């Protein structure tokens, strides 16, 4: 028997990192922590700004108006709950207003506030790519210095900002790598159950909100226990690795494959109707049959295919796909059943 390779298929690096970043943003813990960090930080800086203006005996109305406007914006942003789909839009608009307010204060002569924008850029780095944040930060800093007529560059401030960017960037990469390890099935390289509820909720909500279709395929290997009993678990493991590799090569990088049990997988297609998902499922079944290595015994898969629009909740969506896969298996296997009119396709 050929030794099983220790190298398992993984999502393409750049796209995978973006997907884990999106899943991180969907985490209720991350959403709550980000919201609180922005609100508490902003409240502290607004208080510090007011004290600074008072100490400097600022008599111009505009700096106080900027401060008051951001205080109102802080109150409005605090009304957006962590569970809101608009949370990150609201936070980013508010952080932009805070950076603008601080920049305007610097232009009015409050030079000591130049470094106050750094924490906002560090938070932005967790939400959008680091390169974009750095380019925006350099542009805003240079523009503010030019308009304010600042002739000197405080090297310590820029060194501090650069060091902070490096630290946060590598912390972010480490966080994504840890998430990938926690979410990946070590044998096959498919995702495990960790992010399946998040993905289901996201696709289901998107389908209900915008009408954009999303489809789910529940895949069950026929008679997998008998294969393990007859040929051994190492052969069973090779079959699992082969199935995941072929599916990953057939689907898009934005589609998600999860291993949810010993011989069960869930495949989620975003922006694809049930009919198209059925066509893709049949193609996957055909490829598995046609490209099976001679060293592996014959096997087949049974599949249940349904769209998010046919379910009353994300859990019901998964339950419907599971029932269809069960019916496909009970009807003889090597079959795909579609929810609409019980359409059947057999390879």
DSSP string, 38-72: HHHHHHHHHHHHHHHHHHTT---HHHHHHHHHHHH
Residue 334: both structure tokens together: 């090597």
The active-site residue, picked from 185, 222, 255, 263, is 263
3-state secondary structure of 131: helix
Q: How many helices (H) and strands (E) does the chain have?
A: 12, 6
- Cα distances from 146 to residues 139, 140, 151, 155, in angstroms, run 11, 10, 8, 16
Q: Which residue has the tokens 């060293």?
A: 295
Closest to 127 in 3D by CA, of 25, 266, 215, 251: 25
Name every residue whose Cβ is closer than 8 Å to that of residue 254 and which is 6 or more positions away in sequence.
Answer: 15, 19, 270
Closest to 44 in 3D by CA, of 107, 102, 110, 127: 102
Write the DSSP symbol of residue 303: E
Is 255 marked active-site?
no
End-to-end distance of the chain based on CA atoms, in angstroms? Answer: 28
Return the number of other C-beta atoms located less than 10 Å from residue 50's C-beta.
16
List, by residue number, the catalytic residues: 263
């Amino acid at each position: 028997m050929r030794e099983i390779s220790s190298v398992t298929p993984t999502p393409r690096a750049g796209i995978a990192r973006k997907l884990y970043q999106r899943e991180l943003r969907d985490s209720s813990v991350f959403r709550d922590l980000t919201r609180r960090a922005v609100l508490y930080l902003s409240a502290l800086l607004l208080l510090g700004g007011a004290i600074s203006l008072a100490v400097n005996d600022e008599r111009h109305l505009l700096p106080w108006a900027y401060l008051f406007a951001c205080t109102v914006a802080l109150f409005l942003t605090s009304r957006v709950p962590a569970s809101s789909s608009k949370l990150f839009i609201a936070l980013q608009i508010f952080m932009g207003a805070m950076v603008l307010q601080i920049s305007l204060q610097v232009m009015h002569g409050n030079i000591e506030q130049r470094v106050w924008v750094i924490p906002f850029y560090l938070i932005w780095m967790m939400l959008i790519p680091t390169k974009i944040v750095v380019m925006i930060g350099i542009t805003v800093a240079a523009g503010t210095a030019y308009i304010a007529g600042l002739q000197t560059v405080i090297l310590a401030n820029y060194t501090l900002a650069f060091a902070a960017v490096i630290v946060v960037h590598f912390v972010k990469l480490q966080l994504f790598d840890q998430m990938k390890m926690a979410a990946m099935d070590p044998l096959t390289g498919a995702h495990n159950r960790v992010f399946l509820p998040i993905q289901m909720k996201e696709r289901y909500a998107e389908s209900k909100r915008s009408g954009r279709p999303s489809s789910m395929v529940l895949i069950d290997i026929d008679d997998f226990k008998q294969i393990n009993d007859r040929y051994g678990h190492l052969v069973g493991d090779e079959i699992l690795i082969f199935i995941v590799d072929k599916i990953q090569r057939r689907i898009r990088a934005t589609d998600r494959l999860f291993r949810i049990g010993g011989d069960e997988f869930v495949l989620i297609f975003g922006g694809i109707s049930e009919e198209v998902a059925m066509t893709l499922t049949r193609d996957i079944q055909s490829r598995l049959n046609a490209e099976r290595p001679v060293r592996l015994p014959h096997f087949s898969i049974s599949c249940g295919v349904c769209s998010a629009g046919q379910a009353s909740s994300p859990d019901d969506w998964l339950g419907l796909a599971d029932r269809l896969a069960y019916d496909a298996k009970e009807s003889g296997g090597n079959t795909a059943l579609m929810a609409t009119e019980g359409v059947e396709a057999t390879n």
